[in-house]
Chain A
Amino acid sequence: MEKRLFRRINIPNSTDIEVASGDGAYAAAARAFGMRPVDVIDEVKRSGLRGRGGAGFPTGAKWTFAAVDPKTPKYLICNADESEPGTFKDRIIMERDPHLIIEGMIIAGYAIGAARGFIYIRGEYPDAANILERAIDQAYKKGFLGKNILGRGVAFDLSVHRGAGAYICGEETSLIESLEGKRGQPRMRPPFPVNAGAWGKPTVINNVETIANVPYVIALGAEKYSEVGTEGSTGTKIFCVSGAVKRPGGYELPMGTPLREIIYTHAGGIKEDGKLKAIIPGGPSTPMLTAAHLDVKMDYSSLVSAGSMLGSAAVIVMDDTACMVKVSYIVTRFFRHESCGKCTPCREGTMWIEQIYRRMLSGSGEKGDIELLLDICEGMQGKCFCPLGEGAIQPVISGIKYFREDYEKCIHGSMCGREKCGPVLH
């Protein structure tokens, strides 16, 4: 398959505007300016492009909501707060093809009528932020950004806004709060950001990978773009494979590529030819799967049918040396740390779950702990203010569903040497 998002990443000096434009960067922006904004949106709609950040919302529909809102000015934000554990796809694009993102932003801004864009990047990515800032400077100098882009009368200003360490800011309303300088806590929806987002104005927020697809939709046209992938999940997807595999890395493959092919062909199979035990298919917010699910196609609907989600497509692989109680503890510790504290079910629930896991791992698990964990999850399910809490219970519920045996053994003290769990509890 011909690479799209990763097309330029191995070209030497690909972050340089001369090199990138020599390979075709910014040609799609020029082409888009020859179309009416409404036709650009229509092309994106017909391409079937869906959000790559986790929710899979149709990109063209999101753009329409903001475009038709009469309020001005409108804002466009690229969500580069890539923080779902196991995910590093956006970092690769930003560090190695920043002009693809800038071009995507120019086209998206033109389509929705936004003359101001921000790239909200997590603070832990200083290299990517510096590379983007340098690329933006180059784009201004070349006339691809500014008040009169390419002499076509289109205005678009773009800058990088660095976060300061908070997973919750990947959630779009928290991101807006953070951009405005506040604590990154989610807002009530509705109103949705497309109508009342940054500074109360219509705001479109798209993930880095979504934005990176936009120039290809315009360059290839909707029909050709959607020849790759499946009917409901068009285009390519970057799968970030990590954990117990021989070749961890980011792989750009057609949507719908079977999980087995991703793990065994592209990532080289299980480390030391070990036995596969569990897979997190789309980051820890998505329910775990087992070896029995290896033939699932990695696209939005197939993963839902398999009882999970595509999420950010962060494929984390565990071999049979992994203790699934410990795995869920590590992930719960993360969610407890990142819970913003705004709503009670998430703030208290993640803390209680973590405490129970700690008790189990330190050898003091009690009969009934499994039921207690599930009871807390039920108390959180559908009751948290934003998707963070909903994500936090997935590794607990799916962990118990598929690996109850590990839990029983942990509670009844016959599984393993306790000293192994010492370091993780410090």
Chain B
Amino acid sequence: MVSAETKEKIRRAVRMYPDASAALLPALRFVQEEIGHLPDEAIKFIAVELNIAESEVFGSASFYTMIQRRPGGKHLIQICHNLSCSLLGAETLVTHLRQRLGVREGEVTDDGRFSYIRVECIGGCDGAPAMLVNSDYYDNLSIEKMDDIMTQYQ
């Protein structure tokens, strides 16, 4: 299911806590980093690895917005649509993104490169509007700047 390296990362995480189940969020993250999302088999794998019920793994996996249960694009754009970003034009950017990519929120572009979701405040309000591409942070966005940034992700 996952590489020996990811397994070792999970085992190291388990040793950090008084109770193995506390390593659940780290485990979800490590597996997602490797596979890109968390299919049913990944849920089963983590349950066995941490010796907890599959329902508990599913419960947490479905609760947190950063855990993706379905495959996304190669690059995930997370654009903030909370208040500070909206006051400075986030809506225009979202509209542009939707038109440019030609997909709805959460869907993958035909070439498999991008998917996007709107997210709540990412703490970039001093440079609003802001977004994340994968784990890279961009702020003071305009339509032109956003277009430039996207060409950097192939």
Residues of A at under 8 Å CB distance from B? 82-88, 90-91, 122-127, 159, 161-167, 178-184, 199, 240-244, 248-250, 280, 284, 314, 316, 318, 322, 327, 330-331, 334, 337-338, 340, 423-424, 426
B118: nearest chain-A partner, CB-CB: A426
Contact for A249 among B82, B91, B126, CB less than 8 A: B126
B95: nearest chain-A partner, CB-CB: A423
**Contacts A86-B84, A125-B123 known; A162 to B29 CB distance under 8 Å?**
yes
Taking a contact as CB atoms under 8 Å apart, the answer to whether B125 and A83 are in contact is no
By a CB distance below 8 angstroms, the chain B residues around A340 are: 63
Contact for A86 among B95, B121, B135, CB less than 8 A: B121
Give the shortest distance, in Å, between A107 (CB) and chain B (any CB): 22
15 new A-B contacts, CB < 8 A, other than A83-B123, A181-B50, are A85-B120, A88-B123, A123-B29, A124-B78, A124-B119, A125-B123, A164-B67, A165-B65, A165-B67, A181-B23, A182-B21, A242-B126, A423-B92, A423-B95, A424-B91
**Contacts A330-B83, A424-B91 known; A181 to B60 CB distance under 8 Å?**
yes
Give the shortest distance, in Å, between B75 (CB) and chain A (any CB): 15
By a CB distance below 8 angstroms, the chain A residues around B56 are: 181-182
Taking a contact as CB atoms under 8 Å apart, the answer to whether A426 and B94 are in contact is yes
CA distance A330 to B87 in the complex (A): 10
Taking a contact as CB atoms under 8 Å apart, the answer to whether A163 and B126 are in contact is no
Residues of B at under 8 Å CB distance from A? 16, 18-19, 21-26, 28-29, 50, 52, 56, 59-60, 63-67, 78, 81-84, 86-88, 91-92, 94-95, 98, 119-128, 132, 135, 137
**Contacts A164-B67, A184-B63 known; A322 to B87 CB distance under 8 Å?**
yes
By a CB distance below 8 angstroms, the chain A residues around B124 are: 88
Taking a contact as CB atoms under 8 Å apart, the answer to whether B83 and A164 are in contact is no
Give the shortest distance, in Å, between B71 (CB) and chain A (any CB): 18
A-B contact list, 29 entries, CB within 8 Å: A122-B123, A124-B78, A125-B123, A162-B29, A163-B25, A164-B66, A165-B64, A180-B21, A181-B21, A181-B22, A181-B23, A181-B50, A181-B52, A182-B24, A240-B125, A240-B126, A242-B125, A243-B83, A243-B128, A316-B84, A316-B125, A327-B83, A330-B83, A334-B82, A334-B121, A338-B120, A340-B63, A423-B94, A424-B91
By a CB distance below 8 angstroms, the chain B residues around A179 are: 22
**Contacts A86-B125, A166-B63, A248-B125 known; A180 to B22 CB distance under 8 Å?**
yes
By a CB distance below 8 angstroms, the chain B residues around A330 are: 81-83, 86
Taking a contact as CB atoms under 8 Å apart, the answer to whether B128 and A167 are in contact is no
Taking a contact as CB atoms under 8 Å apart, the answer to whether B25 and A242 are in contact is no
CA distance A228 to B24 in the complex (A): 43
Chain A CB count within 10 A is highest, among B25, B50, B81, B88, for B25
A335: nearest chain-B partner, CB-CB: B120
Give the shortest distance, in Å, between B148 (CB) and chain A (any CB): 21
